[in-house]
Structure 1
Amino acid sequence: MADNTIQGQAPPPHFKLNETLQRAIIHDRYGGNRQAGISTPAGYPFILIFSGATGQQHGYKDQWENDDVFSYTGEGQTGDMQLAKGNLALAEHLNTGKRVFLFEYVQRGYVQYKGELELIEYDYFTAPDRDGQQRMAIKFFFKRKGIALPYEPELEGIMVKEPSPKQQTIPPNETERKGLVTSRIGQGAYRKSVLHRWRFACAVTGYTKHEILIASHIVPWRDANNLERLDVHNGILLSPVYDALFDQHLISFENNGKIILSPALRASAYDKIGVTGRETIKNLSVENHSYLERHRNEIR
């Protein structure tokens, strides 16, 4: 067909939001790899990305971090992911002018169109490959096309609690033998997920001074398994006073977000540090609840 041979002159695709399509029909029309998660049809100035729950068994956990930000795992089933081919196409799509369209699987062979995306940034994390070996993976963070985020992603200066060497339980792997530090690779993309999840604001107060906010786990690294350590729902973003109290199990939160004060401190002590006992987290997810329950069990 003449209209799919010259990049830049191809007509835009006519996908409708939330429309369910047979994936094979999309490729019949535009071409591109029919099996890959990232498909780059030749002659068309766009990239098709496909996301589904079945990919989680290979470390491909994609999700909406908030209403406007979607995180997508790069391609490569074994070994460390490389910034090449489809991954490189996504990383450079703003420079090359290629538009990105997201589809989510609803059943085998059928996908639902979820909209056009624009890259914010990407980072690295550790995840199992197809053979169950820990490897370096790439996480892309996209926003919906045309959306102005209500916060500015300023990652420099955000403090992140990282495990001490004694708390590391992931055994040494090929990546570490190459001189990379696995925990820090894993913390990069995880930190950004937590920041986007809480929209760069303290979960309790809404305070947005990036330089003093702290991203940490609800269930601590030492008590979590490998999946829980990188689950964004096990993350919370707090200003220093609340983070210190939360870390020491002197405060916790009900599933409805209401703060719980430990009797280990007197009411006058809470008053002196500005904690009233009336604080509430307004946007907890259902997935946060199981982690908070475990945190509440440790309150002093």
Structure 2
Amino acid sequence: MRLIFMGTPDFAVPALHALHAAGHEIVAVYSQPPRPAGRGKALRASPVQQAAEALGLPVRHPEKLRKNEEEWAAFAALEADAAVVAAYGLILPQVMLDAPRLGCLNIHASLLPRWRGASPIQSSILAGDTESGVTIMQMEAGLDTGPMLLREAVPITAETTATSLHDALSAIGGQLAVRVLAERPAPTPQPEEGVTYAPMLTREDGRLDWSQSAAALDLRIRALTPWPGTFTVQADGTVLKIGAATPLPDRKHTATPGTALDDALTIACGDGALRLTRLQKPGRGMMDADAFLRGQPMPTGTRLYHTPPAASDAE
């Protein structure tokens, strides 16, 4: 088929490769424009743009699509059979949704209608879901409301992280996109019950509240690492990023939540305890607990905080 591919982050790259390997003619790749990155803030092309250029595919990266009639005309002029969209980052106006002969197909990282919206991978882990998956959806004007074409589920276990789930769903998305174009399954309307929304995430979502249970904090760390990342605050206001932890839900204690229960980074929670296994100091890389403790011991009784003590009404 004659295709347009639209995507930006790493999540979309396997789908681009899968469609190309399946022999489809990809007449254009749309991606977000290069952005400043790194210490030097040099412009860096998106992962999808880099992958497309490596395959010799033409790339377009308009800043906006809304009220961009020139881009609408260019898109229509490609005379594509379909457009495949995966985490592109811009809303497609109706005129673009209608341009390809078979419309626009979206690779969405959830089992719709659960977790429509911006952060389906993180939201599914954070909520304690036992499964996630990929839905290929026929796009329409609503937010992830279009009819479903194919779905595939994967389990979420106690070891699942946002990174591992991202990688699994990314690979599945490419496989399902190829199948949809080959099999042309009939669309199925999304059920009206079970709709949930995955919000845009911010850095504040990663702030750890030690009054929560060890189980809840474990979910937050696994869901929000590496982005937006989880963190706690020391008594002097220093922020510690937390990369991984082991929940100890049966650990009994009477300590104030946030207190170190031993010299091995076991921290009291509202219920149970959490043993921190990967941490990062300001200006340093993420490190295992042993390496962290060699440079900064955290003896029994040390306090970690949700907010700096001087600014917290609760401490």
Q: Sort the TM-score into its range (normalised by shorter chain).
A: under 0.3
Q: Normalising by the residue count of structure 1, what TM-score does the alignment of the two structures yield?
A: 0.27
Give the TM-score normalised by the residue count of structure 2: 0.26
